[in-house]
Structure 1
Amino acid sequence: MLTAHVVYATMTGNNEEVANIVCDCLTNLGVKVTESEISQADIDEFKKADILVVCAYTYDEGAMPEEGMDFYDDLRETNLAGKVYGVAGSGDKFYGEYFNTTVDHFDDAFKQAGATSGAAKVKIDLEPYEEDIERLDKFAQGLVATAGKN
């Protein structure tokens, strides 16, 4: 059985909701899922799963969640070869070029760690709506399909 660990950072609750949707989608696909808030996440526990997911917000002009900086730094320094990852996040299009840049930063960190992307990044404007839930379902399907090939 495939396992997944979903880590989220949220200020408004939107990214916790995104993480919950991803967890539900993965569970429906037969994956055993663990979910953690980013400040409580341990990189050693995180890397035990087959599928690794981060759902995090971007605030102000491209700033990453302060409570997630230690996890981000640890992620960049961890060997995740053989792991499948995905990154999703809710942000606010009001910030223009800075919209959801944390998603890009975590995507780069996973690449640096040697993990394999299992699905295209998902960027959601504010709270997830029906079309976003459908995108997150496809995201989860991609993660599982890629992990099943490894």
Structure 2
Amino acid sequence: MKIFIGYVSMSGNTEDMANILKETLLECGCEIDLLDLETVDLHSLNSYDCLFFGAYTWGDGDLPYEVEEFFDDLKKLNLNGVKAACFGSGDTLYPKFCMAVDIMAASLQEQGCDVFEGKLKVELSPDEDEEVDECRQFAKLVYQWANKGEKLTYV
């Protein structure tokens, strides 16, 4: 299975999450392209079996400015039926914890993507074993869902 993992990270937290997802999916036998979303050729996205998008939440629950244009440009693509999953880091001190993850998922659904029901949201950085395990479990569940087309629930 060919998987794209695209992310944007300011402090490195979301990048750490992306790397955990990559390592886990490599163990599943997947071919992975891991890229900063600012460097992605949009038209290459149709060549993947599953897309992972990750971002930190900026300000009052906003997408980071670095990816606003990316998600606007994404509307030009036909993504009907493309499997996708969303993840990100945030800080519960802000009232809209990890809202960028929800914004990305909604945007992808509007574009016709089949978006994995669960969303991976991590407080700050995946430093603790529990958070690393949560990232690994998310990757495995999305892999199973995308590989078999089954709707699995992420807890």
- Quote the offset at 1:82 in angstroms: 2.8
1:62 is matched with which residue?
Answer: 61
Q: Secondary structure at the match of 1:95?
A: coil
1:100 to 81, 98, 101: 98
What is the CA distance between 1:43 and its match in structure 2? Answer: 1.4
TM-score, normalization by structure 1: 0.92
Deviation at 1:24, TM superposition (A): 0.8
Name the amino acid aligned to 2:50.
I
Cα separation, 1, equivalents of 2:121 and 2:146: 22
Q: Deviations over 1:35-87 (max 9, x none)?
A: 11011112111231111001101122112111111211122442222321110
Moved more, 25-34 or 66-75: 66-75
**Superposition map of 1:1-150 within 5 A:** 2-96=1-95, 98-118=96-116, 120-128=118-126, 129-150=128-149
Quote how far apart the aligned CAs of 1:138 are: 1.7
For 1:47 and 1:71, locate their aligned partners in 2 and report how far apart those are by CA, in whole Å: 15
Q: Secondary structure at the match of 2:93?
A: helix
- Answer yes or no: is the 8 Å Cα contact 1:89–1:123 preserved in 2: yes
**Aligned partner letter, 2:78:** N
Distance in 2 between residues matched to 1:13 and 1:42, nearest whole Å: 22
Once the two structures are aligned, what percentage of the paired residues are identical?
A: 30
> Which deviates more, 14-23 or 108-117?
108-117
Aligned residue-pair number: 148
Aligned-residue offset at 1:119: 5.0
- 3-state SS, counterpart of residue 54 of structure 1: strand
User: Which whole-Å CA distance do the structure 2 matches of 1:138 and 1:111 have between them?
Assistant: 23
SS at match of 2:51: strand
* Cα deviation, residue 124, structure 1: 0.5
Give the TM-score, by structure 2 length.
0.89
My pick for the range that moved more, 26-35 or 113-122, is 113-122
State the distance in 1 between where 2:3 and 2:109 align. 18
- 1:31, CA displacement in angstroms? 0.7
Secondary structure of 2:147's aligned partner: helix
- Residue 33 of structure 1 aligns to a residue whose secondary structure is strand
